Amino acid sequence: MPTDGRDGACHTGRWSFAGGSAMHEAAIVAGLMKILERQAALHGVSRIARVNLKVGKLKAVEPQALVACFEIFAEGGVAEGAELCIDHLPVRGRCAACGREFEVAGYRFRCPDCESGDVRVTGGEELYVESFEAAEAAGASGGG
């Protein structure tokens, strides 16, 4: 499975990232950990094995920095050792002139049909936990 930040990549190994600050990603991961801890407690989960995250391309998230922050913030918590899967969502737009909905290519906010520049962003700003998978449930009985 790809681990280089491409769409749908899952990450479990250590990453190093050069240049820039990871403050943006650290803030995202801090919020993510609060969500995971709260949801794990709510559902009786003691260990999370996998986190599926949806991130719009306009969020300007650096996957390697996000993974590195995730690993650091997860230490000692329910998500320690969890696999982080990042699905990058494309930038989408809707032309106000002709109504066409389309994927914005190369950040060119022009309608491919009528060439209008009056385009409203309809996708690419998302950032949410799609799901997480439990490694084990606290007090699980194993019955059905």
Query: Do strands 83-89 and 45-56 pair parallel, antiparallel, or not at all (unpaired)?
Result: parallel
User: Tens of pLDDT along 57-90?
Assistant: 999 999 999 999 999 999 999 999 999 999 999 9
Q: What is the pTM of this model?
A: 0.74
pLDDT tens, the chain, 144 aa long:
333 344 455 654 444 444 456 788 999 999 999 999 999 999 999 999 999 999 999 999 999 999 999 999 999 999 999 999 999 999 999 999 999 999 999 989 999 999 999 999 999 999 999 999 999 654 444 433
Q: Is 11 among the annotated ligand-binding positions?
A: no
Beta-carbon contacts of 23 under 8 Å, excluding residues fewer than 6 positions away, are: none
In the 3-class helix/strand/coil scheme, how is the chain assigned residue by residue? CCCCCCCCEEECCCCCCCCCCCHHHHHHHHHHHHHHHHHHHHCCEEEEEEEEEEEEHHHCCCHHHHHHHHHHHHCCCCCCCCEEEEEEECCEEEECCCCCEEECCCCCCCCCCCCCCCEEEEECCCEEEEEEEEEEECCCCCCC
Q: Domains along the chain?
A: 9-137 (3.30.2320.80)
Q: Is 85 among the annotated ligand-binding positions?
A: no
Q: Is 114 among the annotated ligand-binding positions?
A: yes
Q: Is 95 among the annotated ligand-binding positions?
A: yes
Query: What is d(CA 45, CA 131) in angstroms, rounded to the nearest whole number?
Result: 13
Structure tokens at 71: 């690993």
Structure tokens at 109: 């906010």
